Structure 1
């Protein structure tokens, strides 16, 4: 098993980040064009805590090389199962995802957490990401290590692109919703 971890701080409040998170795969995010569908399977709110729990199925265009797809079988689509928890009291979003496609060959368990920055809790949000990557190649330790190392490298590149895309979504959300708030404020003043 190999571990990928990353963290950064977004220059946006937790409210902005936790709201924009639902738009992460929107059309204006040119870094997530591989995502073809996001289906919500269930959504519940725990009455005693207010925690929103959401299960989603994310459908992606396969990015594996053609020879890998031919060798292992399958088609151009891959699927990821995600469970997220939004805790409005502690201001924490936790997202746990795992690949469904080829999970018998390569298992990827990712956890992402967004919470207010310790240094600037009202205006910035800390992001932590960890992925546990396990190649299931039986007793072939050398092959297993190579597959895991290559997967960590690819995951790292995709994670960087994902953060860049989310930054674009955050910026667009701030612009759009900032304009809406200003229009609403003006409307209330003139009423």
Structure 2
């Protein structure tokens, strides 16, 4: 490479132009491609996987969606069915159903949802904020503190919505996980 620049500014300016022009051109071509599929790169999704997934939903059969999100959850059906017959909750009542999700498979679903974007804005609590969240007129992130009233603690005892920060040591591991961990340390 022959340097014809007399100062650092000219070098960086040329470098930026050589770097940015192909990127802008590629973005325009990508936008045109998705426009030909009736998808707007700025409205329907900024991420290529999200746009691709939206296109997939419009062109493939409904079975495809089920298979895509099904993932490894099938592997746990045997265990789920065994647990359903033996697990007792709420004063010995037999468990009627166990619902499980493969969180890795939910990634594609999650990125296809509307995402908060734009300038960060703090909204002060107002009287109808809970109503707005429940009827989907409020969009964004909400920080809230929850507490379980005393009279409901027994009801939630089997799966309490209470989080506890604790340090887990090797003594807390199950036998199988402990065996695996011991083998990995060798």
Give the helix-richer structure, 1 or 2. Answer: 2
Of structures 1 and 2, the one scoring higher in RCO (CA 8 A, sep 6+) is 1
Query: Shared fold by TM > 0.5?
Result: no
Structure with larger Rg: 2
With the length of structure 2 as denominator, give the TM-score of the two structures: 0.23
Give the strand-richer structure, 1 or 2. Answer: 1
With the length of structure 1 as denominator, give the TM-score of the two structures: 0.22
